[in-house]
Structure 1
Amino acid sequence: MADNTTVFDLIRHGEPEGGPMYRGSKDDPLSEAGWQQMRDAITEGDVWDAIVTSPMLRCVHFAQELSDRYGIPLHKDKRLREINFGEWEGRTASEVMASDGERLSQFWANPAANTPPGGETARAFNHRVVESWQHWQQELEGQNVLIVCHGGVIRMLIADVMNIPLEHAFSSLATPYACRSRVQVDTSAHGRFQSLVAHGDFKALAP
Structure 2
Amino acid sequence: MLQTLYFVRHTETTLSGKLLGQTDPPLTEQSQNQLLKTLHSLPKPNRVLSSPRLRCQVVAKAFSEKLDAEFTVVNALQEMNFGDWDGKSYEWLWQHTCSPSVGDFWQNPWSVTPPQGESMACFNSRIKAWWRTFTSQSSDDTIVIVTHGGVMKQLLAHWLALPEGAINHLNCFEVGYGKVIQVSVFYDGQGKAWPKVVF
Determine if the alignment matches structure 1 residue 9 to structure 2 residue 6. Answer: yes
Instruction: Please name the residue that 2:135 is paired with.
Output: 137
Asked if the contact 2:13/2:28 (under 8 Å) is kept, the reply is yes
Higher mean C-alpha deviation, range 133-142 or range 171-180: 133-142
Asked if the contact 2:51/2:75 (under 8 Å) is kept, the reply is yes
Q: 2:48 aligns with which of 44, 51, 69?
A: 51
Paired residues, number: 195
Partner deviation per Cα, 1:113-147 (whole Å, 9 max, x = no partner): 11011111011111111211222223352211111
Q: Which runs of 5+ in 2 are unaligned?
A: none
Determine if the alignment matches structure 1 residue 69 to structure 2 residue 70. Answer: no
Q: Tell me the TM-score normalized by structure 2.
A: 0.91
Determine if the alignment matches structure 1 residue 184 to structure 2 residue 184. Answer: yes
Letter in 1 for 2:81: N
Percent identity over the alignment is 25
Asked if the contact 1:21/1:92 (under 8 Å) is kept, the reply is yes
Q: CA RMSD for the aligned pairs?
A: 1.7
SS of 2:61's equivalent in the other structure is helix
Please state how far the C-alpha of 1:64 moved relative to its aligned partner: 0.5
Query: Are the structure 2 counterparts of residues 93 and 140 from structure 1 closer, same or farther at C-alpha, using a change threshold of 3 Å?
Result: farther
Query: Are the structure 2 counterparts of residues 92 and 140 from structure 1 closer, same or farther at C-alpha, using a change threshold of 3 Å?
Result: farther
Higher mean C-alpha deviation, range 186-195 or range 174-183: 186-195
Partner deviation per Cα, 1:64-123 (whole Å, 9 max, x = no partner): 011110000011111111101111111121221111266222211221111011111011
Asked if the contact 1:162/1:195 (under 8 Å) is kept, the reply is no
Please state how far the C-alpha of 1:194 moved relative to its aligned partner: 1.4
Q: Which runs of 5+ in 1 are unaligned?
A: 199-207
Letter in 1 for 2:178: A
Instruction: Please name the residue that 2:34 is paired with.
Output: 37
TM superposition outliers: structure 1 runs of 4+ over 6 Å: none
Instruction: Please name the residue that 2:156 is paired with.
Output: 158
